[in-house]
């Protein structure tokens, strides 16, 4: 789909979410996340209506360490961004039981 219509990576849904938000919420593979980031790198900086970045949505959904790392690499400052509830990605990760590796990576990025 991205090859046929690369602009699709920029299309928001009714909740203000980009395909990258939805992909990480639904457990897309690292390859899919990387493809979306390549198609629209700025997606990593886009907040949805809940003021959540893709990094927030990924850790809330139990994303893998590889997916979280890809999102952090695309937008390193994401670890400092709060959602509408005032939570950093680290808070979301702890609250929703992210893996120890993900929690540690977020702690190291923003102690």
> For 33-83, what is each residue's pLDDT tens digit?
999 999 999 999 999 999 999 999 999 999 999 999 999 999 999 999 999
Read off the pLDDT of each residue in 91-101 and give the average, rounded to a whole number.
95
- Going from the C-alpha of 22 to that of each of 31, 107, 110, the distances in angstroms are 14, 25, 25
* 3-class SS of residue 103: helix
Q: Which pairs count as long-range contacts for 13-20, CB under 8 Å and 24+ apart, including other chains?
A: 15/48, 15/49, 15/50, 16/47, 16/48, 16/49, 16/50, 17/48, 17/49, 17/57, 18/43, 18/46, 18/48, 18/54, 19/43, 20/44, 20/46, 20/54
Please enumerate in sequence order all residues whose Cβ is within 8 A of that of 37, keeping only pairs 6 or more positions apart, or say none. 20, 43, 44, 70, 71, 74
Q: What pLDDT score was predicted for residue 2?
A: 82
Of the candidates 68, 75, 78, 71, the one whose C-alpha atom is nearest the C-alpha of residue 98 is 68
Tell me if 80 sits within 8 A of 111, measured CB to CB: no
Could you tell me the pTM of the whole model?
0.93
């Amino acid at each position: 789909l991205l090859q046929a219509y690369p602009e699709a990576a920029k299309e928001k849904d009714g909740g203000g979410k980009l395909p990258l938000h939805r992909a990480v919420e639904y457990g897309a593979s690292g390859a899919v996340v990387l493809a979306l980031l390549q198609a629209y790198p700025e997606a990593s900086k886009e907040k949805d209506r809940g003021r959540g970045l893709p990094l927030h949505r990924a850790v809330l959904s139990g994303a893998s360490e590889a997916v979280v790392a890809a999102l952090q690499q695309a937008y390193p400052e994401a670890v400092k961004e709060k959602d509408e509830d005032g939570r950093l990605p680290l808070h979301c990760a702890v609250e929703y039981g992210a893996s120890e590796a993900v929690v540690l990576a977020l702690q190291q990025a923003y102690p």
